[in-house]
Amino acid sequence: MGMPKVKPDNVVRHEIVLGRADRELLAGAIAAYQVNRISTPLVALLSDVSAMYIVATIVELFGKDIEWLPTLADVPEGLEWVASYAAEYNAWRDQVKATPEGEDRPKPTTVGAVWYNLMNPNWSGFFGNFV
């Protein structure tokens, strides 16, 4: 066992004050760090063949055919429930486009409609309007 520490009899506080130029440099370094933290896993995902196949399958399910790539969306029978999501998505997209400007969208009632709303948000957030 060691000896107990003696409590300090005075406390010295150091304060660092940054100027405008220093704050701007620090803000740039923080932004670069955040971009790096986001882009590294994204690049790893995009370099994975199976992940890209899943992305291509989702793209095909929602209407864009990639002719040279066979995916689950190309199966003629057996996956009607999956293909129905794409039909619901497209029907909901058409319904949203028919909604007059300035009016709220109707509430989604199908999985395809929910997916459309997630992919095309119509809300305003901290950074402004995302539409």
Q: Is pLDDT of 76 > 70?
A: no
Q: Is the pTM of this model over 0.75?
A: no
Round the average pLDDT of the chain to a whole number and report it.
81
Residue 21 banded pLDDT, cuts 50, 70, 90: very high
Contacts 24+ apart (CB under 8 A), 80-89: 84/112, 85/61, 85/111, 85/112, 85/115, 86/61, 86/62, 86/112, 87/112, 88/112, 88/113, 89/62, 89/63, 89/113, 89/115, 89/116
Q: What is the pLDDT of residue 72?
A: 67
Q: Is pLDDT of 130 > 50?
A: no
Q: Is pLDDT of 83 > 80?
A: no
Q: What is the pLDDT of residue 131?
A: 44
